[in-house]
Structure 1
């Protein structure tokens, strides 16, 4: 099996930078080295130097194809595969192949895009050298449209180009404009338009920057792959990357701002915020705090990352080395100096093990002040603390009395072990402080009662003094370890309970979605609350956005409150929340915040869509009014002006003809204005149909009577058609608009109107009216566009009207609880089908 071929792409910021010339130059170099090179497709665009560069290379003949009645040529993929060269040159990777439907039927394997042809060549083991402009990359399509105002219809998936060796063909905007002005890119007649539109200096500079940045990202990816493949952990400072460690406490925001300022000082610098969670999951900040950090980081232009590691310092350094960071920012430690001396903190470890990564320690107001409220130590209950103190003091005295009463049954080693066991038991029950107190008291009792000389604090034997010192230190150390283990067990139990509750929360959120009332109901169920409300602060006070149960009206009226944002809070009534429930409730608050952001974004999107639609409608209306309303007015004015001209004597026939022209123009103007008014009433929702029983035969007759070409209409109405439930006036307008459209686009052929009974999707009786023409018809994908206001399919200049007839007809039909659809006429043409409710056989509507 052959190895896949290699793809090489010459990337440019705009046409004319020299991509094709560079591709052909590489083809010549490879051919001179003995490589079998052919030209699969090269487009010279009439440029002499490009055509000269093709000479000397073998060219595979192109395949002639027909496209929309025009003969053109495309790359002959089968011929290239049969020739099987080592390298093939294929220009314009994003090109759309111009194959008509007949060619696609005869060749099922034909591809729509040239990059798909290139994929086939690569799969066959043939190397491909190609060209591409940056605006044709799929991921940059929206950005390019915002810059140039032109949306590219031909794009290439980024994954295709990422897998290739990419070389940038660069040229400054000024040089490219000079090439354009000299006629080296486009023909002379297109130069001025190009220089004032797409090839403006600002456009070219922005496209050039896009190409450079996209290629720089690909270079970074390649560098990361190389470092990973070769096991390189050392930092290569190819660009400034700043990693800032955040803890979620009050100083985190200041650290983020400092990192943003440092990264902004270097061109192309970037920064990342990282929060390291301990792998045991027993310590950490709430979901709300993490969400605030993420939002703040994004607002300052950075990226937020959360990683899990057994050790915070090691996890931070592993992340920094993984992203090839040059600097690490950490906050000054909150730990006291004695604590730092006993055990180094995260900052000290990072500084010691950072290697060639620069470490910045940023001071803040909370340094050396302790961890604050961010990480609350687990504590034992008051009852256990009391029990621990009872074991430490009365328990130690009772043990001493018992041992004193039986001196012949034991010696100092046994007495020491019994007191040590009591210290361990005290730590298990009451925690660290009672255990330390018990260790100190036990060592004193051992010294006074059991170490010679007894009854005094004096120790005669140095060995006994050492034993007592070891006893005291061991007792304190064991108490510390036992207390820590007990606290970790309690933390693990609490973390497991919170994890189970969060799992229930996640499952609940999947079912409740974005409904705040349902979320509040779940909150009440989980926390056993009697009521809950989402309150928003306004100028007039607090307003409830969602309410469940006996909900408070103000934050002060509830038993618990969780802040969602600066002006939104979730207030609960029932009982206060303990610390564990507060952390769990913060997860709900984070989701409430996300729901609000999503709903606000959706509302803004809808509002923007409404504004865009209104703007589009306004633009279309102005364009239509400027032409379609002006045409009949111009005819009327010309006819009336002629009749009023005293210098001309008109015969009776001429006068009648001019008056007829006035009447035709007035009728056309009345129809246009009527459609505009109907559309306005439909959009404003002020249309109120008066439904009654309407006979279709009579309604069609009324609608056809004023139409000038009604003689071309053939009626084939089924006598069995039931009476329709409709508004007679609105139905008259619907039928008239449909028939006028059919007469206008029916290519002079007769228009047929047929009717018959039908059934709705729910089985209800319906009446169906069909208006059929035998004109050119409308493609299936464009039929729904017929009913868009101001839409004249094909934009034919001879088409009278504003393009409102079918839009108004559908709106009026739907106002009468009916439907209007477009279907293909067998043999060619268009059939418009109206369905309306029918009177039931028993006479009930």
Structure 2
């Protein structure tokens, strides 16, 4: 319930009905308007908030009789547009509003950026909305649609908006029928038909888009079915679609079971294949992680999905998972137990699943491991043997002791009393192994009474004539009790060790999912839900400075998010909590659940860090854009003003200019040269940032290049001191780029060099490179600002590093690195700044990529 717009009364949220289509022209808008006409015919107050008929006659005809709210005119970049007038619809307050094109992006100046946000406001105001959307606009499918059609979708809508629709109906049409509709001119005008049919509306594209739409809507229907079954407590499967669950133990037979289950699923179109591995505190916890990983890869290559759950009773856990997924068939391996083990231990997992499956079909698949001994099942950690084992021990005692008594009384002449005692002791130990301490004590007491009555003199009386026999009987009972206690302790320790193995297996699977990249919060929480058998698991958060504020769900796994007062609550900090609905886990399992929670928090922090990094990149781009606008405006104003003033003066008819004055006004070369240098710098920086700069490396002699650079600088360049030996080896560079770099650096040095202390250009040879240093005695740059000075559009204290348009040092470093060299700044001894360029020597290995790689990189960017 929300506050209403009018008198403050509580208003129920409106309902949302969406018509989903595979492509334009399938008839979504037609279906929406037809629904509006039907509701209008029933007396419902219906208005058209926004509809786009695209001049289709049959669609436009359905507008007759419907009230259309006038659109809101907007002007953007000199062009006129019309958008839905949200405020006018809210003031009109109809019962139903028809709003076309849910994924549409509104023109800047509208109240909301997206039309679906407009629809949300209508729904919050209690207005029912009927709308339309195409499958290619769903955010989760935009990349898939781009691969199919080759067209990137600019307008997308979050899937959750469509998922939350109260009614979702697909408007379906065959690709052939849609193409015929296109040919008849029912979708696009004739001049666009041929291009559309040969591009977006190809039969293959439409078939793929149709399948995407049908599968997506099928998943939503399935989610609704699951919610309905859960809400009404329906456990037996509804065979709306075949779902095959294959139980994987991690044994070598798993590959056989997966392939068999995949063949069963392939026989039914649209069948789902799911594998479940039960992590329990008994025999199946010793699965080989490498084998499980191999089987998971095999399953996923066949289109199946991998799941893991936790349970002490494997058969019950498998069936619980199958029923929760509405499975129709379960595939298991035939029991490995031999006849003797089956007789001693009881029915296997396959037999129990078959007996308890109900309406679920069970396939028992034979394999090479059938008959291999695996050992008896083990109980829950921290407890003794199970109640079932206790009853089995008592049953063994009740059957074995009377039968043994009968056999020994008949063989009284062949056996002595010591043999009788040992045989009875053997039976008591067997009862202890099967049933534990209490059945063993009962068996020991019963055996002592039988020995006393039938074998100790006087016979057939409960008294003992010989003191030694009394001691023997006491020792017999003590030995039986001691053996029973030891058996109970060994079983307890074995079960604890097995449970520790189960925890390790679960944590290994969790770590493996992180390594495989399954780090999305919902996926991580969904894995926790499956592992512990919860109905839902969620990560909740609230503001640190508002502890009384309600908890908000950050992410969740399951059908619905859990509430803050859920059955299981694990506090992660004062502001975060993991909540789960369903059965409460055992105390020893909460440690593993806390590990899931820790991974969820870490992943959330990673996402926040990623978002912060993205925001920082955007901020850097904004700062660069601001600097560019500021400095470009400043640098352009000078040369443009000079050139404009000269031309304006020359055109004045009221002034008679002498030849000398006219020549002076025409001398605008300096301003135009500055303008040319500015544009070249901007273009080079753009090429560098785009990776599209062309670099042609060849040997260059510095002693020839440097004097030419200084000559080009004019009179100011003649004052620069030069120390470039003639014997230096050639450097492997792009001559034009190196000339630009040195000219810029020398120009900057001249700009900041004081009178009487011209800059110096020096070069020297080292083991694998040549260093060129441009030294000046001007104001230096603080060491902490050295890196920032090589960023575009920076001003550092008294020394403005901008040259041309704030690109000097940044452009020089970029050009140098493109040639395989480096550019660093350092202090000049005695004050000033030294720019040092390290260049590779011709004939030596270089870091610069060959021209072909630069061209390839440019092609990739293009």
TM-score by length of 2: 0.54
> Residue deviations 1:34-82, cap 9 Å, x none?
1111111101112122222112111111111112221010011111111
**Number of the residue aligned with 2:46:** 37
Q: Given the superposition, is the C-alpha separation of residues 375 and 144 from structure 1 closer, same or farther in structure 2, using an over 3 Å criterion?
A: farther
Displacement, 1:427?
10
**Alignment check: 8 A CA contact 1:242 1:328 kept:** yes
Shift of 1:423: 9.5
1:817: which partner in 2?
Answer: 823
| Distance of aligned partners of 1:497 and 1:196 in 2 relative to their CA distance in 1, 3 Å threshold | closer
Structure 1 residues 335 and 688: alpha-carbon distance in aligned structure 2, compared to 1, 3 A threshold: farther
Structure 1 723/210 Cα, relative in aligned 2: closer, same or farther at 3 Å? farther
Partner of 1:802: none
Pick closer, same or farther for the CA change 1:225–1:502 going to 2, 3 Å.
Answer: closer
Asked if the contact 2:14–2:124 (Cα under 8 Å) also holds between the matched residues in 1, the reply is yes
Matches within 5 A, 1:287-686: 287-342=289-344, 343-371=346-374, 451=453, 482=485, 484-494=487-497
Distance of 2:168 and 2:476 partners within structure 1? 68
1:598 corresponding residue in structure 2: none
> Of the candidates 11, 14, 17, which is equivalent to residue 5 of structure 1?
14
Q: Which residue of 1 aligns with 2:830?
A: 841
Q: 1:227 maps to what in 2?
A: 229
Find the residue that maps to 2:264 and give its secondary structure.
Answer: helix
- In the alignment, the residues of structure 2 paired with residue 19 and residue 9 of structure 1 have an alpha-carbon distance, to the nearest angstrom, of 9
SS of the equivalent of 1:330 reads strand
Determine whether 1:118 maps to 2:119. Answer: yes
User: Could you report, residue by residue, the CA deviation over 1:151-203 in whole angstroms, capped at 9, with x for unpaired residues?
Assistant: 10100100000011211111111111111111111111111111110011111
Contact 1:693 1:724 in 2 (8 A): no
1:770 maps to what in 2?
A: 802
Distance 1:331 1:843, change over 3 A: same
Distance 2:514 2:242 in 1: 45
CA deviations 1:90-119 (Å, max 9, x no partner) are 1111111112xxx36xxxxx2111111111
The answer for the alignment partner of 2:147 in structure 1 is 146
> Which residue number in structure 2 is paired with residue 759 of structure 1?
781
Q: Partner of 2:626 in structure 1?
A: none
The two structures, once aligned, show a CA RMSD in angstroms of 5.9
Structure 2 counterpart SS, 1:307: strand
Closer/same/farther in 2, CA of residues 460 and 354 from structure 1, 3 Å limit: same
Post-superposition offset of 1:30: 0.7
What's the CA shift for 1:221? 0.6
Distance 1:420 1:13, change over 3 A: same
The 3-state SS of whatever aligns with 1:489 is: helix
Q: Indicate conservation of the 8 Å contact 2:779/2:831, yes or no.
A: no
Q: Is the 8 Å Cα contact of residues 694 and 726 (structure 1) preserved in structure 2?
A: no
Specify which of 240, 244, 247 is matched with residue 246 of structure 2: 244
Q: 2: CA distance between counterparts of 1:119 and 1:698?
A: 69
SS for the counterpart of 1:253 is helix
Rounded Cα–Cα distance in structure 1 between residues aligned with 2:495 and 2:699: 64
Asked if residue 85 in structure 1 is aligned to residue 86 in structure 2, the reply is no
Secondary structure at 1:762 match in 2? helix
CA distance in 2, matches of 1:685, 1:124: 71
Aligned to 1:175: 177
Taking the aligned partners of 1:692 and 1:200, their CA distance within structure 2 comes to: 60
Q: How big is the shift at 1:335?
A: 1.3
Asked if the contact 1:92–1:130 (Cα under 8 Å) also holds between the matched residues in 2, the reply is yes
CA distance in 2, matches of 1:253, 1:279: 24
1:691–1:725 contact (8 Å) kept in structure 2? no
Structure 1 distance, partners of 2:325, 2:247, is 14
Aligned pair 1:48/2:49, yes or no? no
Mean Cα deviation higher: 236-245 or 479-488: 479-488
Residues in 1 aligned to 2:496 and 2:69: alpha-carbon distance in whole angstroms: 74
Whether the 8 Å CA contact 1:694–1:725 is kept in 2: the answer is no
Shift of 1:322: 0.8
Match of 1:488, SS?
helix
Indicate the SS of the match to 1:344.
coil
Q: Which residue is equivalent to 1:407?
A: none
1:131 equivalent in structure 2: 132
Contact persistence 2:253–2:369 (CA under 8 A): yes
Structure 1 CA distance for aligned equivalents of residues 782 and 513 of structure 2: 36
Show the counterpart of 1:543. none
1:276-299 alpha-carbon deviations (Å, 9 max, x no partner): 122579944244343333223222
Structure 1 residues 226 and 453: CA distance shift in structure 2, 3 A: closer
Offset from partner CA, 1:535-594 (integer Å, 9 cap, x none): xxxxxxxxxxxxxxxxxxxxxxxxxxxxxxxxxxxxxxxxxxxxxxxxxxxxxxxxxxxx
Cα gap change, 1:422/1:289 in structure 2, threshold over 3 Å: closer, same or farther? same
Distance 1:843 1:282 in 2: 74
**Could you say if the C-alpha distance between residues 241 and 511 of structure 1 is closer, same or farther in structure 2, counting changes exceeding 3 Å?**
closer
Q: Distance in 1 between matches of 2:350 and 2:363?
A: 10
User: In the alignment, is residue 20 of structure 1 matched against residue 32 of structure 2?
Assistant: no
CA distance in 1, matches of 2:11, 2:700: 71
Partner secondary structure for residue 770 of structure 1: coil
Q: Distance in 1 between matches of 2:192 and 2:44?
A: 39
Structure 1 residues 473 and 41: CA distance shift in structure 2, 3 A: farther
Secondary structure in structure 2 of the residue aligned to 1:759: coil
Match of 2:206 in 1: 204
Judged with a 3 Å threshold, the aligned counterparts in structure 2 of structure 1 residues 756 and 344 are, in CA distance, closer, same or farther, namely same
Answer whether contact 2:276 2:309 (CA < 8 A) is retained. yes
CA separation in 1, counterparts of 2:515 and 2:222?
42
Q: Is the 8 A contact 1:696 1:723 kept in 2?
A: no
Does the aligned pair in 2 maintain the 1:144–1:207 contact within 8 Å? yes
Query: 1:692, CA displacement in angstroms?
Result: 13
Cα distance change of structure 1 residues 311 and 844 upon mapping to structure 2, 3 Å threshold? same
| Greater mean deviation of Cα atoms: 40-49 or 270-279 | 270-279
When residues 136 and 504 of structure 1 are mapped into structure 2, their CA distance, relative to the original with a 3 A threshold, is closer
CA contact 2:753–2:759 (8 Å) conserved in 1: no
Aligned counterparts of 2:214 and 2:814: Cα–Cα separation in 1: 51
Match of residue 639 from structure 1: none
Deviation, 1:271, is 1.1
Match of 2:161 in 1: 160
Q: 1:191 aligns with which of 190, 193, 203?
A: 193
Q: How many residues align?
A: 562
- Say whether the 8 Å CA contact 1:11–1:167 is kept in structure 2: yes
Correspondence 1:272 to 2:281: no
Matches of 2:445 and 2:711 in 1, distance apart? 113
1:290-316 deviation digits (Å, cap 9, x = unpaired):
333322322232111111123111111
CA distance in 2, matches of 1:205, 1:222: 26
1:463 is displaced (CA, Å) by 13
Distance 1:420 1:724 in 2: 110
Give the CA deviation at 1:317: 0.8
> Does the residue aligned with 2:784 lie in a helix, a strand or coil?
coil
Displacement of 1:483: 5.3
- Alignment CA distance shift 1:251-1:479 (3 Å): farther
